[in-house]
Amino acid sequence: MSFHLVIGFGPAGAATARLLAEQGHAVRVVTSSGRSPEPGIEHLAFDAADSGRLAEAARGATAIYSCGGPPYPRWAGSWPPLASSLCAAAEATGAVLVMLGNLYGYGPVDVPMTEDLPLAATGPKGRVRAAVWEQARKLHDQGRIRAVEVRASDFFGPSVTDGGHLAARVMPGLLRGKPVSALGDPDAPHSWTYLPDVAGALVEVAAQERAWGRPWHVPTEPALSVREMTGLLAARAGSGPVAVRRIPPAVLGVGSLFSPMIRELKEIRYQFERPFVVDSSAYEARFVLRATPVGEQVEATVDWWRERQAAAGRPPVR
């Protein structure tokens, strides 16, 4: 088997590294803080924006997976040097650069998102994510690197604990029968991309030369609203019907005065105020991976959160 380098060990990086290790590959992970080794995975601690160290860590790698990123409020200043370092490492080693992207670069649109939409975002986070891919794509077109981007909608699934994602916002309260707060319109259709499918797509396109040089959307189940997803989660959890309440804009406005994260959400609030739907048919027409059925996603997610709450000594819902 071959050697693969993964940048970042958040939910997507960890899922990708562990999938590669399960397939028998040697895996090295780079994070700023490092971690204890686990079977098949070596961990290194340094700043991935250090292009010299990153190229050395990637020497001999088949692929470099960009699954990390700077903290949300520092995207504009920190993504460009990280992206340049990733491209330099790919060029120095010949490894395929597999970039995990998102849908911010399209900006607000009124149709399901496909990969041929222009990257027309006007906000700083959308512009910087678009620029990260454009830099890699141009180098690919020049023959200097081999690159591909995999774009996902909001993550959903076990191990996704970031408070900005659906299950992390919903599950702790839902397991106690508490109401759910929704950012934006709780009835707007929204695409949720299952975390194991993200890892599966990254690994699949890394090995497919015909995938390189362009972006792909991770296979994603049909869009469901926050209210619909909450209903499915509640049914699996056995908590009974759970109220879903929109967070008033005035509350978000006050919160933004004290929370940098809430301030940063202003740029992407449109994603929750209107339909936000991803079309992954291009990927599905060319590759093997298919989206995990939503029922399986919900079952695995609720069970994971139940176990997490039990381990923390929190009582289950009655």
Q: pLDDT of the chain along its 318 residues, tens only?
A: 799 999 999 999 999 999 999 999 999 999 999 888 899 999 999 999 999 999 999 999 999 999 999 988 899 999 999 999 999 999 999 999 999 999 999 999 999 999 999 999 999 999 999 999 999 999 999 999 999 999 999 999 999 987 668 888 888 888 888 888 888 899 999 999 999 999 999 999 999 999 999 999 999 999 999 999 999 999 999 988 889 988 777 666 666 556 666 676 778 889 999 999 999 999 999 999 999 999 999 999 999 999 988 887 765 554
- DSSP structure string for 56-109: HHTTT-SEEEE-----GGGHHHHHHHHHHHHHHHHHHH--EEEEEE-SGGG-S-
Q: What local confidence, expressed as pLDDT, does residue 209 receive?
A: 98
All residues at 6 or more sequence positions from 135 whose CB lies less than 8 Å from its CB, including other chains: 83, 84, 87
Q: What local confidence, expressed as pLDDT, does residue 204 receive?
A: 98
Cα 170 to Cα 77, 178, 222, distances in angstroms:
31, 9, 20
Domains and CATH numbers, the chain: 3-154+193-217 (3.40.50.720), 155-191+222-278+293-311 (3.90.25)
All residues at 6 or more sequence positions from 152 whose CB lies less than 8 Å from its CB, including other chains: 12, 100, 101, 102, 103, 193, 198, 201, 217, 218, 220
Q: What local confidence, expressed as pLDDT, does residue 163 receive?
A: 65
Q: What local confidence, expressed as pLDDT, does residue 318 receive?
A: 43
Q: What local confidence, expressed as pLDDT, does residue 315 receive?
A: 58
CA separation for the pair 227, 188 (Å, rounded): 9
In this prediction the pTM is 0.94
Q: Which amino acid is at 289?
A: L
Cα 158 to Cα 12, 188, 279, distances in angstroms:
11, 23, 23
Strand partners, 215: 149
Sign of torsion over alpha carbons 293, 299, 300, 301: positive
Q: What local confidence, expressed as pLDDT, does residue 311 receive?
A: 81
**195 contacts 300 by C-beta, under 8 angstroms:** no
